[in-house]
A and B are shown apart, each in its own frame.
Chain A
Amino acid sequence: MAEMAPALTEVSARYPALGRLMQAVVDVWPEHQGFLEKSLEPRTDALMETSDRIAAAILELAGDHVREHAEDYRWLCAQIQEEELNFVRTGRYRYSTFAETNAHVYSNAAFMRRYMHGLLYSHVLWYMHISSLHFFSQRLAARIKAGGRVLEVGSGHGLLLFLALRDLGLAEAVAWDLSAVSLEQTREALGRLGALDRARFAVQDMHTAEPGSERFELIILSHLLEHLEDPVDALVRLRPLLSKRGLIYVNVPLNAPMPDHLILLKTPAEAEALLVKGGFRVLEIASHTTQAASLSRAQKQETAVTCSIIGEPA
């Protein structure tokens, strides 16, 4: 391992997991240190605490592959750079149909493996992502009654289900995905995080979901709607699955070119309108920008923003 960078030594003293994760990335990508330091600058003490706790969970998930995942993170950033170039040149995302993203991204197992590892690290390394996780834990804790059931569709790395169980006090987590392979990843992740005994998994297309006897206090759609051809239909289908006073939580990005994004939203108002079309009333919306830029600057430059939305059935 390379000698620890001075700025990261200071971080590691107070936030050991965060320091270790960042150092792993700097070891394989020294030129990225400036970006990482800049992403730390705007973080409050509370956000740094959240960052450290999420970093600890991510290190647990990475297991013996912390360095390899760091290399995958670097690879992911190179993929995004290419998508950014295409986006700024054309004003559009590269693909517009599920058939295209399925052919070029989802069906490519090697690509998907690196992609998911890189995204996992981005959840603590990118201000935009850690800020949205912090919002999730803080704002939903103020609204969710402990003890209920949470559903996440497209649960991937499992971090949000884990936080819903640990920080929100929900009793049971249910994960849905179209892909049995993805579900297995969530199952393995929750196993590593010690939450398997409170989780269930089902291969389920939300577009064909029928309200059964099961109701959820919280439904999470995090970085999901932008991958769909018909996100409004997904929202309409899921709405009847909420219990009385149940909430929906959505993370959806603006101006975020990724190889598997279909729906381009440009403003927080467009994100909010999507929820309203799906039959929800928006209770709270927060915009988390790339490197904590002001929202007006992010909108002017058309750089990525994650909108976190808490809603209830209208």
Chain B
Amino acid sequence: MIDVFDLDDLVLTPATTADDIEEWDSLSHVRLVVAVERKFGFKFTNSEIESLKTVGDLVNLIRTKPA
């Protein structure tokens, strides 16, 4: 996320939302999910992408995907 948002001092918790990070807008959201897709080797569905509201949502969703 540091790379996607271009922020060196980013501090994240499971409750962190887009409202907490000014750079987390719809464009960087797309870049974030695609970066995760590349890292873990799977694809999110459109509805999964839209449902992600917090860092915790993202972590939980990654855990549901086959390794």
Contact = CB atoms under 8 A, between A and B. Distances in A.
Given A35-B25, A89-B37, A303-B27, A82 B46 contact: yes
A85 interface: yes
B34 A89 contact: yes
A68 B33 CA distance: 32
B52 interface: no
B21 to A, nearest CB: 12
B49 A290 contact: no
A84 B37 contact: no
Nearest to B19: A34
A149 B33 CA distance: 49
Interface string B19-46: 0000001111011011001000001001
Contacts of B30: 81, 84-85, 88
Contacts of A85: 30, 33-34, 46, 49
B6 A290 contact: no
Given A82-B46, A85-B34, A88-B34, A291 B6 contact: no
Contacts of A84: 26-27, 30
B29 to A, nearest CB: 9
Contacts of B37: 89
B6 A297 contact: yes
Contacts of A297: 6
Nearest to A303: B27
A82 B27 CA distance: 11
A36 to B, nearest CB: 12
A301 interface: yes
Contacts of B6: 297, 300-301
A206 B7 CA distance: 46
A302 to B, nearest CB: 8
B25 A291 contact: yes
Given A85-B46, A88-B30, A291-B25, 6 more contacts: A82-B46, A84-B26, A84-B30, A85-B30, A297-B6, A301-B6
